[in-house]
Every structure is written in structure tokens, then in C-alpha cells.
Chain A
């Protein structure tokens, strides 16, 4: 309940598609944008199956989904879907092609995910175009940026001069008449890192059709510990970048632009005084005159290879003079004074399981924040090895109760940045909705895209035996929230 009218409640949302657009291997609604009257969603496929090949792989027994030993047994060609609200219909408008890979196979997908999406009209574009950043396996080719004028035909534009191990980019950020992009994943035959790139460089282009990419920053903003520039956003007429830094904590930098390379200015260091537990400045969103930034730990809140975490995410807000407030997180003394959470909520909105605050979006005067919540992996984790205090908490709650009530991603909202209240704390009633990865504010309402990697078959314990069964609610979902007044006028 809230004093300000108009915020969306859970009951205001309806499901527009479930089960990964009918295919449980569509695990992530990984990117989203409104374009030419439709909503576009780029998927990531077979992510939970690929995660098993990570280095080190998460310690989950049994593996949460039935996954083949050979990833090529899964069709991992990423897809782009378009939704028409008037007819309530989804249409697949693009599917990644196969290429002949460096391993000689002819069934290597060009793209296994579309991780970023943006509508942008560059100086050479006749009209706004839809741009999509792709993720390519190491056996394919460097990742592409796709361009579409009509939402039906997608063509790769010339790539930046990535280093060979770059596998994906994330956000496509228009700024100062250029498109900006930074690599956020790397991989080779030895393994992959989904959240760390082999280079911490932002590339900019003023003519995507011709390429003309230029690096606009010194590697890692001059700090070798900044392994990746993970997220980009604009605020107060400047471009902001958030880094992954597993040594001293994530950083935030800003620039006024100009001729490349830009002059960059440090805004936040040392994870805003929380150190490596705020390893990455991963989500940035302007709201009510401030830049809201969510910090957390990569790999879902537990960067096991670097022994960071598990810990829940924080939110701060930055003002134009670079001063900042702690909104959600842990009280502490910092170089900028004593900080306590203005919202009253500790990390993860008081939940250890909210490893990321993954996406934020402004809709109808409200700021919405969606989380990644790993409660639903508990049945597969060796929780007996957890710290005693965490274990005591889980026992006190009861694992079944936790899963039933809070076993899904959370969506929170605020109208002033201080008073936050939950829209859903259970993945809209589907505990398999692991995360809220995409949000888009449109005239039709607020679209919410989930990460749901618990399909097509999920591990279920019956008696003492584990078995894999079809999961009718496995696969990403897209929800549409409309205020009651909008719904009533239809």
C-alpha cells in the first residue's frame, strides 16, 4: 500500500507469455525494447545447461535441469520475439543462424543470447532503428551488433576491434550522437566468464552502418583492477560507466563526452565503501534528478572463483555533484561521511537471496527495481555446508515455506527513492522465475521479462529419489503491468 497513487501492484500484472515462448530452453528474456509499436525481446537459450560447463561450475547436486553432456544437443540459437499488445500475440521475428565453427561443426549458433537492445537513430539512420547486442560462443566468431530498420530484418553491422576472447556485450548506450558499447563476457576453449571481459574498454561509433568504432577510454579507466566496464547509462548530460573490480570494489566513472577519447572523472570507488562485496556497479537508472546505482557481486551474488560472497545487492543514488546516498544496504562510515540505508532496508531489501538488483526502470513516476533471487536453487545446494547463522535462519523459516512464499524474483517500487514496497516477492507466483532481467516502460504499461532457467525438465525430489519432470512453468516469462484505470478504459 502506498500514499502516492498509481504504482503497480502484483494484481495489475498479467502474463503475456510463459514457458520461454513455448520452448523451455529460452531461459532469459535477456533484452527488451519498445520499437515501432511493438515490444521486442531477445532471448538467451540453454543458459542453465551451459552454466554446468563454467569454471568452476556451481556446486549443485543434482543439476537443477536435465541437461545433456553435449551442449550441441540443445538448439541454442538465440531468438528475438515481437509482441503486439492490441492482438495479444507474440511472433518470432529472428532466430540466430548456424555457422561452421572453429571446431569444424556446421551447427554452431552464431548467437546464443541477445543481451542488450536499444532504439537509436544515428546520424546516418533515416529513422530510429533497433540495435541488438549478441553473445557468440567461442567456436563461432566475435559477437555482433544487429541492426533492424523494420523489426523484421536484422543485419550485423561492422564490429569494434574486439580482442579475440570477447564473447558478448551488454548495454547499447546512445550518448552525444554516438552509440556506446562495452564487452562484458569472455571465453575460449578453456572456459568462459559470463560477467568479465578480456578488456575494459568502451567503444563508440557515430555511424554504425559503417562501423567507425573508437575506444573512448583508457583501459579500465586507468585502473588495472577494473576488469570490465559492465554497465552504461546517461545522467545529467553525461555518460556513466560501472565497473567490475574484484580487488577493491566496483567503480563508477563519468564523462561529458566530446571528441574521443573522452576525459573521464572518477565518481565512486571501493564499491561505495563496501569493498569487493560491491564488486560491480551493475544497474544504473536516472530517477527524480539522481542516478540510482545497484551494486552487487557477479555470478548471481557469489563470485566463487574470487571467493567473494555470497552477499546481497545494494542501491545507492548519486547526485550531480558526485555526492551519494545509501538507499538499500549496510550502514557504514565512508570517506563521504556516515551512510545508513535511507529506505530502512538492508542489502537485497533485507533478503540474502537477492544477489542482484538486476534492472531498474522508471514508469509513470515510479522507480521499479527487479532482483535476481536464488532461493529456488536451495534444494540443489549443499546447505549443510553453509555458515551456521545462515543455516539457522533457513531452518527457522523452513525451506519449503521459504520456497513457497519467497522462492522467486522480487520487484520493488518507490515514488520518492526512500519508501520502497514490494510488487511481488515470489516471481509473480512462479518460484521458477529466478530473476527480473528486463523492464520496459511503454504506453501499454510496464513490461517485465524474467529469467527462468528451470526448463524444459526440472529436478524434483519425490520421496528420497530425484527425477527430472517436465516443468510447465519453466522458461522465461513476460508480464505486462497496467494500472487499473488503464485497464478499465479498454
Chain B
């Protein structure tokens, strides 16, 4: 009997395409992608639910949608209510136990989980490694310019933007996407050097330019055979059962870039990456910090 591989995590800085790639991977017949679960903010489910309750963001939505789908078979408000109760009844569970249960429901397909929250916090990444020994990792990258243009465009219309995304040296604080980009990628690097099993690094630009080849390469790295039907479905991530908004009681769980339209101006700007041009979101016209430039170059960006 084959042993089910541990869940596969797509770790990335915010606005690097993690939700989109999850939708693509879900198209493979041997994979089952969930929304962002924000699971590793705590060790136990009860503490996690408390954090969700107090959070100013929709951190609970992905987990609620996942439980609703896997335990109750659908994602309407009724199933979301059932998911809330189901989670409350398991407050004493370790988050790893919760994930193992969800994995067993998805079996024989392997779980795929996009995660742009844990990379911001070393302790969250440590919990991931501890609660999911043997977790697979895809480190997903986007050029910091493109990522910055998309994130800044999203933040422009928001009243609440996480403090993690801001330069607090400004009054009022300035949303500066290079901060979470550098922070997340460096934290992921720190995790990867401790991993003894295989992991992969993928640039979202490669997925955009050569989707077939890149997805085939990814599947190969995951020891998955790629049938033509798999590839066809992987190229249609809008078919993913979590691809759109959830019901009113848990609408989110994905990054906004796959849920909301992106302004044409932002898309156009994002398509002209540079590591030296003045950053369009910074009033002082400064370019990327040297640390960001060095990190981006180490990934082959220019």
C-alpha cells in the first residue's frame, strides 16, 4: 500500500500568484487544492479560532470553505455554519491533526495549500514544519516590481492594509510591497535550508510565458505523471471549486488578485519590470532597497 504524501505548500510573498497556481495544480487528477488556511498562526485549533475571531482580516474564510467542502460537500452558508461548529468541537486538536483529517478526506488526492501568511513569520513557518513533517514545498516567486505594482494597486482602495505591508517610517504609513516581498522570501529561504527533502522554486513569469512546460516540470518534480487531460484542466484554473468568491459568510480565502479585477494601468505597469526604476508607489521616487535588488538578482531577475 502506498503512503499518502504529506500536503504540498505553495509558499510565496503576498501577490506572487500562489492562489492562481493552487487553482492550476488542482486540475491534476492526483492533487486537491484548498484555499489559504492560515493554519500555522497557532498550535491548536482553539487558539487559531480565537485569532480568527479577533482578526481584522478574513483569515478564517479559507479554512471554513475547506471544511465545508470536504466535510459537508458544498460551500453554501449552511455548510459554512456546519464548518464553524465542526471546528469549535475540535478546539483541542493540534492544527496538524486538523490538516491530517482534511488530507484524509481529499485522499487519494494530495492536498495543495497556498500560503502567503506563514512566510511573513518565522514561527509560523516553524509550526508548518513541525505539524506537517515531510511537507512538500513550492517556493513561488514573482518579480518584486510586478508584485509591487499589483499589491499597491489593490491597497490603494483599501481602508485596512496589514501593518506587515507598510513602511512605518512615513506618516501616514506608506504601503510598500517590497517589504513583504523581501521578508517573505528571506523567511522561506531560511525554512528551505532546514528541509531535508525536495522542494521546488518556480517563477510565476515562467508559468505565464510557458505554462505547459512549467507545469510539466513541476509535476515531474512532484513525481506525478501528466496526462493530457490533467494538463488541459490545469490550464483552466477557473474550474477549481474554490476559484471564485465563497458564500456571504466566508467569501474569501484566496488572494485578491484572483478574486477581483486588476486595473489595466496596474497590469500595464506590472508588465514592465525593473530593478532600478523609481518605484511608482513611493512618493519619494526611490528605487528598490539594495537588499531587495540583491535578493531579486539571486533569483535571476533583472
Name A residues whose Cβ lies closer than 8 Å to a Cβ of B: 1, 3, 273-274, 330-334, 337-338, 340, 342-346, 396-397, 418-421
Contacts and interface: CB of A to CB of B under 8 A. Distances in A.
B112 interface: no
B106 to A, nearest CB: 27
Q: Which 8 A-B pairs have the closest CB atoms?
A: A344-B121, A330-B168, A332-B169, A338-B289, A340-B183, A331-B179, A332-B168, A418-B122
Given A338-B292, A340-B179, A340-B182, A419 B168 contact: no
A337 B164 CA distance: 17
A333 B285 CA distance: 13
B271 interface: no
A333 B163 CA distance: 14
Contact of B124 (A1, A338, A344, A396): A344
B43 interface: yes
A340 B291 CA distance: 11
B123 interface: yes
A342 B122 contact: yes
23 contacts: A1-B43, A274-B168, A330-B163, A331-B166, A331-B167, A331-B168, A331-B176, A332-B167, A332-B168, A332-B169, A333-B286, A337-B290, A338-B289, A340-B179, A340-B182, A340-B183, A343-B121, A343-B123, A344-B124, A345-B121, A346-B164, A397-B54, A420-B123
Contacts of B183: 331, 340, 344
Contacts of B76: none
A426 B148 CA distance: 39
A333 B287 CA distance: 12
B293 to A, nearest CB: 10
B178 interface: yes
Given A332-B169, A344-B123, A338 B163 contact: no
A340 B292 CA distance: 12
Interface of B: 43, 54, 120-124, 126, 130, 163-164, 166-169, 176, 178-179, 182-183, 187, 190, 286, 289-292
A274 B290 CA distance: 20
Contacts of B178: 338
Nearest to B282: A333
A142 to B, nearest CB: 41
Contact of A419 (B123, B166, B176): B123
A348 to B, nearest CB: 12
Contacts of B120: 344
Given A1-B43, A330-B163, A418-B190, 13 more contacts: A1-B130, A3-B130, A331-B164, A331-B167, A331-B183, A332-B167, A333-B167, A333-B176, A337-B291, A343-B123, A344-B187, A346-B163, A397-B54
Nearest to B129: A3
A334 B122 CA distance: 22
Nearest to A418: B122
Contact of B123 (A273, A346, A421): A421
Contacts of B179: 331, 338, 340
Contact of A337 (B54, B123, B187, B289): B289
A397 B55 CA distance: 10
Per DSSP, chain B at the interface is helix
A1 B176 CA distance: 33
B269 to A, nearest CB: 21
Contacts of A334: 169
Contact of B182 (A1, A274, A338, A418): A338
B149 to A, nearest CB: 18
Contacts of A420: 123
A342 B125 CA distance: 13
Nearest to A331: B179
A340 B163 CA distance: 11
Interface centre among A331, A396, A419, A421 (most CB of B within 10 A): A331
Contacts of A419: 122-123, 126
Nearest to A343: B122
A404 to B, nearest CB: 13
A333 B122 contact: no
B43 to A, nearest CB: 6
Nearest to A342: B122
Contacts of B286: 333
Interface centre among A3, A332, A397 (most CB of B within 10 A): A332
Nearest to B94: A1
A419 B190 CA distance: 12
B54 A3 contact: no
A1 B178 CA distance: 31
A334 B290 CA distance: 12
Nearest to A334: B169
Nearest to A346: B163
A264 B299 CA distance: 42
Contacts of B121: 343-345
Contacts of B168: 274, 330-332
Contacts of A421: 123
A338 B163 CA distance: 15
A330 B182 CA distance: 14
Contacts of A345: 121
A396 B54 contact: yes
A345 B291 CA distance: 20
A333 B292 CA distance: 12
Contacts of B190: 418
A345 B178 CA distance: 18
B122 A344 contact: yes
Nearest to B118: A344
A338 B87 CA distance: 40
A274 B171 CA distance: 11
A3 B126 contact: yes
A485 to B, nearest CB: 22
Nearest to B131: A1
A330 B126 CA distance: 22
Nearest to B187: A344
A330 B169 CA distance: 8
A338 B122 contact: no
Contacts of B167: 331-333
A401 B151 CA distance: 35
Interface centre among A273, A418, A420 (most CB of B within 10 A): A418
Nearest to B121: A344
A337 B286 CA distance: 12
Nearest to A397: B54
B123 A338 contact: no
